[in-house]
Amino acid sequence: MASIIRQTPPPNAPALPDLRNLGTVLRVLLAVNGGAALIALAMAGAPAQFVDQWVRITGFVEPHLIVALAVLYAAGPALARQPYRVGVALVFALVVATGLAAHLLTRGAIPEVRESLFKHLLFALASTAILLGYFHLRARALSPAIAEARLQALQARIRPHFLFNSLNGVLSLVRQDPRRAEEALHDMADLFRVLMRDNRGLAPLADEVELCRQYLELEKLRLGERLVVDWNVKSMPADALVPPLVLQPLIENAVYHGIEPSSSPGTVSVNIFGSRGEVHAVLRNPYRASGGTHHAGNKMALDNVRERLALHFDAEATLESRVLDNAYEVHIRMPYRSEAPADARADAARAAPEAKPRPPGATMRTGAAHG
């Protein structure tokens, strides 16, 4: 399913909202019921008549709204593949068709509905037009935020000290272990290639985990035995589509705030699993109340990832953080999506840079511990 903000059309090209997204459905419910309440308030001659008017209006509006949302939910993927004008025309046609169906279902139970079919259809079409305009303007308004969030993410993640420390770690291995130094350079190239590419679409969770493993291998060059990683990914849905770089900045945070301040070994725990149509990622690192400046910027990456989740999944994804006994935990919850629209897959293929082949014998390292 597409993300809540469609990224695949050309710049400024309109696109239908994601009709299967919880945030979209909630906004439609609130807007239509709010509009019905305003009409009831305008029609009521006195405040005491408001409830009667509102009940009479919702007697047709609610069945129609529920049926329309169910039909649009089922037809969402097919509508998303259509050109915008065709998709809009089909949405209006479905709204009229579901309105007639709701009228047939309710006219026996509510006699007043029989005389108000035209008014209710007019209200439904007007609401549809207003909502489509709202979602279009919302997508245009949020599109600059994607670029801004990406720039902020790069500033938060690509710290100069990480690059310099990684290079120094590689240099220290060049004479002792040339093969491992070569692998580390390939890991660095892969990592920065992903960090610098266009990351507006969704990517497989397995790719994000592999990126995190490469990052942690580079950090182990510097931190050595001080960094211990506990991977628990046996129940991970590898084909789940997630926003790129949704885990790496949090793992970098865990290393920077949980491992660097101490001279003793510390464990970064990564637990990823699927449950009830959702993907959960729980990251945990050591926490010391006297962390000093290492804890000062702890919220920047969290806010950045939280914004990326909202841009892609709206209300269907959350990020929670809490301090436990001597540990800091971040819990991400995302909807389980395993398929992207055909246009998104095509754009992702065009945007992804070609991976350079590694020389024979240079196998990809898979982290400090395996799940």
Residues with Cβ < 8 Å from 70, sequence gap 6 or more?
none
**Pair 67, 201 in one domain:** no
Domain presence at residue 217? yes
Q: How far lies 323's CA from each of 258, 263, 307, 341, in Å?
A: 12, 21, 21, 39
Rounded CA separation 69/65 (Å): 6
Domain membership of residue 88 (yes or no) is yes
The partner residues of 321 in beta bridges, in order of sequence, read 330
Identify the domain boundary among 144, 179, 214: 144
Given a contact cutoff of 8 angstroms between Cβ atoms, the answer to whether 256 and 294 are in contact is yes
Question: What are the tens digits of pLDDT across the range 127-176?
Answer: 999 999 888 888 777 665 555 555 455 445 555 556 676 677 777 777 77
pTM (whole model) above 0.85: no
Cα gap 309→197, rounded to integer Å: 19
**Quick one: 162 and 308 in the same domain?**
yes
Is 115 found in the same domain as 183? no
Sign of CA dihedral 7, 11, 12, 14: negative
Distance CA 264, CA 227 (A): 9
- Say how far apart CA 334 and CA 355 lie, in whole Å: 28
Residues 334-367 have pLDDT tens digits of 999 886 544 444 444 444 444 444 444 444 343 3
- Does residue 293 carry a pLDDT above 60? no
CB atoms within 10 A of CB 5: 24
Instruction: List, in sequence order, every residue forming a beta bridge with 281; answer none if it has no partner.
Output: 272, 332
Q: Which of 111, 144, 177 is the last residue of a domain?
A: 144
User: pLDDT at position 274, please?
Assistant: 93
- Model confidence over 60-88: pLDDT tens digits? 788 888 889 999 989 888 888 888 889 89
What's the rounded Cα separation, in Å, for the pair 16 and 178? 53
The CA–CA distances, whole Å, from 102 to 35, 61, 91, 123, 146 equal 19, 9, 16, 14, 40
Asked if residues 199 and 207 have their Cβ atoms less than 8 Å apart, the reply is no
pLDDT band with cut points at 50, 70 and 90 for residue 1: very low
Please tell me the total count of domains within the chain: 2
Residue 94: both structure tokens together:
């479905």
User: Are 85 and 129 contained in the same domain?
Assistant: yes
| pLDDT per position as a tens digit, 86-96 | 989 999 999 99
Residues 102 and 178 grouped into a single domain: no
Q: Last residue of a domain, which of 91, 122, 144?
A: 144
Task: Mark whether 246 and 283 lie in a shared domain.
Answer: yes
Same domain for 63 and 162, yes or no, is: no
Mean predicted confidence (pLDDT) in 307-311: 81
> Does one domain contain both 168 and 103?
no
Same domain, 183 and 46: no
What are the φ/ψ torsions at residue 65 (nearest 5 degrees)?
-65, -45
Answer whether residue 149 is part of any domain: no
Q: Is 239 helix (H, G, I), strand (E, B) or coil?
A: coil
What is the CA 303 to chain-centroid distance, rounded?
13
Look at residue 353 in the predicted model and tell me its pLDDT.
Answer: 44
Q: Helix, strand, coil shares of the chain as percentages rounded to 5?
A: 60, 10, 25
The pLDDT of residue 202 is above 80: yes
281: part of which helix (H) or strand (E)?
strand 278-286
Would residue 209 count as lying in a domain? Answer: yes
Does residue 70 sit in the same domain as residue 123?
A: yes
Pick the closest to residue 2 from 313, 347, 346 (CA basis).
313
Which tokens go with 6?
């469609």
Q: Give dist(CA 271, CA 273) in Å, integer.
A: 7
Amino acid at 163: L
Does 102 share its domain with 219?
Answer: no
Q: Which domain holds residue 179?
A: 158-351
Among residues 68, 69, 67, 91, the alpha carbon closest in space to that of 79 is found at 91
Selection from 2-6, 19-23, 92-96, 190-194 with the highest mean pLDDT? 92-96
Please answer whether residues 51 and 173 qualify as being in contact, where contact means their C-beta atoms are separated by less than 8 angstroms: no
Instruction: Provide the CB-side half-sphere exposure for 203 (13 A, CA).
Output: 21
Average pLDDT, the chain: 76
Structural domain contains residue 5: no
Residue 350 or 256, more confident: 256
